[in-house]
Amino acid sequence: MTSNDVEIRHYTSDHAAELRETLMDVYREVYADSIADDPFNGVERFGRGLDGWSSRPGWTCTVAYDGDQVVGYAYGAPLPEGAAWWRGLLHPVPEHVVRETGTRTYAISELMVRVPWRKTGVSRRLHDELLAPRKEGRATLLVRSSHPKVHALYVSWGWRLLGQLIPRIESAPKFDAMLVKLPLRGETNRRPTGSKVLDRVVAEDDWAAVLHGDRLLEPSQPHHVVYFISAEEIELMSLSSIGMLPVPAVGEEIGVGDGMLTVVRVGTLYGRDEQSGRPTVFTSVTVDETPKPE
């Protein structure tokens, strides 16, 4: 059996009441092994969460059917302005990354598939069809940090990690907070750039995002400051640019001021502007001012 053998139906909050028992039944089956042992997976807690999510403006749900049997489902809703979703992040991120407007981010709350239909592509179809109609610029979801295989699956679908998070809910475990750019894109022809750094950027985003500077989490052009320092640690000059400046290699002769000097050490520090969130790179280039014999 493949995912093409199932039918995906779309629902909204208008159908929440009639769907509720079906969604609860699938949850009880899928999480049967952990419901008794894990308070966070309790049926009552899930039911309250389902009622809360399905009452939100913009809630949507995709349900997979094999004939008249429900195979699995996914649902979510847009994050409202000032959403509490990000408040449990364990490490600080720039404010602009987690700022919500009510129309910026669609959050997937649940995606589950019954055991007989797993590894058939159904979960990917539920995921893709849930997100396909969305008008938001990105989507988010949480994956338990103790489930690395699930994390890896989402990465293979184009998601990337923002950071780890513990929701402010009783008994909540640690999650990986992930993001993906919308609309979803198909596979791109990824060519090596010759730079490990750029290859990583292409792998995390895609060629269109790299070419047009439309990266998911940060401006594509960092602020780069290069300081030229003497061996006595006296600053000789500095250069500042939006975009990376060329950095000389150790042993290279470079012109600084009126003379040709030899680079003896290069150091780099990475940071981020607290106001704009722009990545900032500081490079110190130490040069030897000793004149070379003719």
- pLDDT higher than 70, residue 24: yes
Of 68, 72, 26, the closest CA to residue 47 belongs to: 26
CA distances from 246 to 35, 37, 254 (A): 57, 57, 12
Q: Are 26 and 114 in contact (CB under 8 A)?
A: yes
Q: Are 71 and 122 in contact (CB under 8 A)?
A: yes
Lowest mean pLDDT among 55-59, 173-177, 187-191, 231-235: 187-191
Question: What would the two tokens of residue 149 be?
Answer: 């295989």
Mean pLDDT of 41-54: 92
pLDDT at position 212: 40
Lowest mean pLDDT among 69-73, 126-130, 167-171: 167-171
What is the CA angle 257-262-266, rounded to 5?
Answer: 100
Please report which confidence band the pLDDT of residue 220 belongs to, taking 50, 70 and 90 as the band edges: low
Q: Are 81 and 60 in contact (CB under 8 A)?
A: no
Q: Are 131 and 139 in contact (CB under 8 A)?
A: yes
Helix, strand, coil abundance in the chain, percent, nearest 5: 30, 35, 40
pLDDT at position 38: 79
Percentage of the chain surpassing pLDDT 70?
83
Please report which confidence band the pLDDT of residue 196 belongs to, taking 50, 70 and 90 as the band edges: low
Mean pLDDT over each residue of the chain, to the nearest integer: 84
